[in-house]
Structure 1
Amino acid sequence: MALGKRRSERQGEFWVAATDLSSGPQHLFYEKLNAILAEADFDDFVEELCEPFYAGGGRPSIPPGVFFRMMYVGYFEGIDSQRGIAWRCADSLSIRRFLGYRQHEATPDHSSLSRIRTRLPLEVFHDVHVCVLQLLIANKLVDGTTVGVDATLLEANAAMKSIVRKDNGEDWEEYIKRLAAEDGIEIKTKAELIRYDKQRSKEGKKKVSNDEWESPSDPDARIAKMKDGRTHLAYKAEHVVDLDTEAILDAEIYHANEGDTATLIPSLEQAQKYLDRASGWTRDIKKVVADKGYHAVETLARCATLGWGCGGMKTYIPEPERKYEWSWLDRPDAQQQAVTNNHRRMQRAYGKRLQRRRSEVVERSFAHVCETGGGRRSWLRGIDEVRKRHLMTATAHNLGLVLRKLLGTGKVRQFGSLCAGVFVQSCGVIRRFACLGSCARQLRAIFRKHHINQAQAA
């Protein structure tokens, strides 16, 4: 056999038959996902849904089913940016098969994804989420009676050094120089400005408020303190999760400075609307479980009077530590009753068990969507655009639940580990059978030798 040599420049082929091109290996995970979407008539549904937002004539655009599939690829592959999603779809032959593109066809670019996302309103993404919830209900993966609620912060696509004052448009350096001039200090160099700013920080005078500052590139982002202690422009993501099946009923984005007690009721109402539309009949949310950050008198009383189910909604929210006892002199009796009932429920073993379940399930949804699903850092600007992307990531998580029921895993990387584990177990079984076969051969040789010795002795 002769040695093959690689040449950097080769004469191109004048004509190549499409049948001679490799279609790429078949990926069982994506093939199964395509089969699930085809069974639910997903492509026909989204095409009919998006048709009013396109012109009647002209060059055909990218199919909406391809756009939503690429959004799902971002979750399953753990890619946070649209550029990364477009590159991954163009590079992988198995993902090309998943999207329905041949090797000689160009996959959509990241700019096309941005154009389609901005063209479609937020209501379209809500309808797609409801469609996937219907698929989960058909597979008996939604109960909807007991939900857990929690929130986390997402980094916005804006930097703190670019913030400006709302009243006069000053940036941070101009603001510091003005403060130094008021104190009688002249700032000449960048080092002096940093030194003066650090001194203000040590004295406790360095404070930034959302009422006074904003980001010119993303006005919807809010200044917030992240869990690791950094101050960053961020958004707040709140999940309403079915505690029985781990399905995300609602994934809403709020401003980072909105309190948990103010966003609990809107999230529950939106989750109830999704359930009503997906099930076709009333699926009442009867129990809500949250952490102590959601505990407020008005919130508990509002949950008890929402009218879902018999007697409203039961809350299982622990009380935060307080310096003073409750005072009910100027409060209605309904609020006192709601707080007392919630306190009694949390003293029982069932309430404590629900809290442990909430800590496990809801935090796991953030781990899947934000950490390994590429949703912790947002590369989009505007709260509506962030809502679209985050809701599609949560929808992909729900599709992963269906795949986990059918394949035993809900992500591509887990599917590879599962296949590797099955291969290792198969090798172990084969090795055991081989050892048994070797032992059987040795026993036969021993018995044969024993019979020969007996025959010679006779």
Structure 2
Amino acid sequence: MMQEALFYSFNLEQHVPADHMLRSIDRFVDLSGLRAHLQPFYSSMGRPSIDPELMVRMLIVGYFQGIRSERRLCEEVHLNLAYRWFCRLGLEGQVPDHSTFSKNRHGRFRDSDLLRHLFEQSVQRCMEEGLVGGEAFAVDASLIKADASRQKGVEGSRGLPPEATSRAIDEYLSVLDDAAFGAASEVTPKFVSPADPAARWTAAHGGQAFFAYSTNYLIVLDHAVIVDVEASTAVRQAEVSAAKTMIERADERFDLYPERLAADTAYGSAETLQWLVHDRGPATTPTILDSLNS
């Protein structure tokens, strides 16, 4: 009968290949200021909270590995040695429950604007590495399918049921005057989702219509670095407004203003060109709007 060893010597560091993608990423991940940024949003009393650096590192793993489900992400980090190494968990570290992510995303992460803070830190690092200049930029939007059922949509002309109430509805009502959402268009949508009324009914892909949002990007063309991102409702007017917001914010936060801006023809309205070339003021270099379709 074979006897098993009572003690094992196991070094997690030795079991992560030298060429593993997460090793390359880890060299550039600096979360040293994370706890100071979040300190006002944690109580000094009660039991210890889940380490925010652990959650952010797990979210980074999910992004690079294409793991969209938080429940599955927790399972993968629990089982995968490389993920444990990257998240500083060791072999015995406890992986947080998936519900912890939802609570923090809708709570202190949102209240502190943490993800925007981390994003801008990344852009600043790219600038320090010489990957971001101020010449050629591009702007475009991608449709992101909302987690809302097509079958449960109601006619837009009827509006939401008076008795309907949820966090999503409260958030929808709070952005009705926002140029990127409710005020983007006076057109009544064909259908509205009671589960997520801020999502827009669209058939922009040319197939079956669905509820969606738009994720808008401002990208430096030389190295394809995203220097700003803005969510909006999935209508063209909102995407144009989001482009203006991103250009202004990049100018304010990083002193970046494009000399040339590439975009598809939908961004080339007279109003947009007027804003880009004249309304920015005489000290600003005029911007040329090119077409991505040309």
Name the TM-score, length of structure 2 as normaliser: 0.79
Which 5+ residue runs of structure 1 have no aligned equivalent?
A: 5-9, 171-208, 276-281, 319-354, 360-458
Contact 2:217–2:229 under 8 Å retained in 1: yes
1:46, distance to aligned residue in structure 2 (A): 1.0
- Could you list the per-position Cα deviations for residues 98-120 of structure 1 after superposition, in whole angstroms to 9, with x for gaps in the alignment? 00012122212211111121122
Contact 1:86–1:109 under 8 Å retained in 2: yes
Q: Give the structure 2 partner of residue 159 of structure 1.
A: 149
Amino acid at match of 1:86: C
Contact 1:306–1:312 under 8 Å retained in 2: no
Instruction: Give the 5 Å matches for 1:407-446.
Output: none
- Among 99, 114, 117, the residue aligned to 2:102: 114
1:101 aligns to what SS in structure 2? coil
Quick check: which one's helix share is greater?
A: 1
Aligned-partner Cα distance in 1 for 2:284–2:39: 43
* 1:125 to 2:115 alignment: yes
Tell me the C-alpha RMSD between the 2 structures. Answer: 2.9
Amino acid at match of 1:44: S
Q: Given the superposition, is the C-alpha separation of residues 308 and 56 from structure 1 closer, same or farther in structure 2, using an over 3 Å criterion?
A: farther
Aligned-partner Cα distance in 1 for 2:278–2:159: 45
Aligned-partner Cα distance in 2 for 1:258–1:56: 46
2:280 aligns to what SS in structure 1? coil
- Could you list the per-position Cα deviations for residues 146-176 of structure 1 after superposition, in whole angstroms to 9, with x for gaps in the alignment? 2101112110000111112463757xxxxxx
1:32, distance to aligned residue in structure 2 (A): 3.2
- Among 9, 12, 24, the residue aligned to 1:23: 12
1:52, distance to aligned residue in structure 2 (A): 1.0
* 1:229 to 2:207 alignment: yes
- Among 208, 217, 230, the residue aligned to 1:252: 230
- Could you list the per-position Cα deviations for residues 265-310 of structure 1 after superposition, in whole angstroms to 9, with x for gaps in the alignment? 12222232342xxxxxx33332211111111001100011353785
Q: Given the superposition, is the C-alpha separation of residues 263 and 33 from structure 1 closer, same or farther in structure 2, using an over 3 Å criterion?
A: closer
In our comparison, the structure showing a higher alpha carbon Rg is 1
1:269 aligns to what SS in structure 2? helix
Contact 2:189–2:200 under 8 Å retained in 1: no
Aligned-partner Cα distance in 2 for 1:60–1:306: 51
The alignment of Structure 1 onto Structure 2 pairs a total of residues equal to: 262
1:249, distance to aligned residue in structure 2 (A): 0.7
Quick check: which one's strand share is greater?
A: 2
Amino acid at match of 1:95: Y
2:55 aligns to what SS in structure 1? helix
Q: Give the structure 2 partner of residue 265 of structure 1.
A: 244
Contact 1:284–1:309 under 8 Å retained in 2: no
Contact 1:22–1:103 under 8 Å retained in 2: no
Which 5+ residue runs of structure 2 have no aligned equivalent?
A: 162-186
- Could you list the per-position Cα deviations for residues 247-268 of structure 1 after superposition, in whole angstroms to 9, with x for gaps in the alignment? 1011211001242434321222
Aligned-partner Cα distance in 2 for 1:121–1:284: 27
By relative contact order (CA 8 Å, sep 6+), the higher-ranking structure is 1
1:83, distance to aligned residue in structure 2 (A): 1.7
Aligned-partner Cα distance in 1 for 2:266–2:203: 16
1:72 aligns to what SS in structure 2? helix
* 1:74 to 2:53 alignment: no
- Could you list the per-position Cα deviations for residues 77-131 of structure 1 after superposition, in whole angstroms to 9, with x for gaps in the alignment? 1112212221211110111010001212221221111112112226222111111
Q: Give the structure 2 partner of residue 303 of structure 1.
A: 276
Aligned-partner Cα distance in 1 for 2:75–2:95: 9
- Among 65, 73, 87, the residue aligned to 1:99: 87
Instruction: Give the 5 Å matches for 1:34-433.
Output: 34-37=26-29, 42-119=30-107, 120-121=109-110, 123-165=113-155, 167=158, 210-211=188-189, 213-259=191-237, 260-275=239-254, 282-307=255-280, 310-318=283-291, 355=292
Q: Give the structure 2 partner of residue 32 of structure 1.
A: 24
Q: Given the superposition, is the C-alpha separation of residues 90 and 169 from structure 1 closer, same or farther in structure 2, using an over 3 Å criterion?
A: same
- Could you list the per-position Cα deviations for residues 388-425 of structure 1 after superposition, in whole angstroms to 9, with x for gaps in the alignment? xxxxxxxxxxxxxxxxxxxxxxxxxxxxxxxxxxxxxx
Contact 1:249–1:274 under 8 Å retained in 2: no
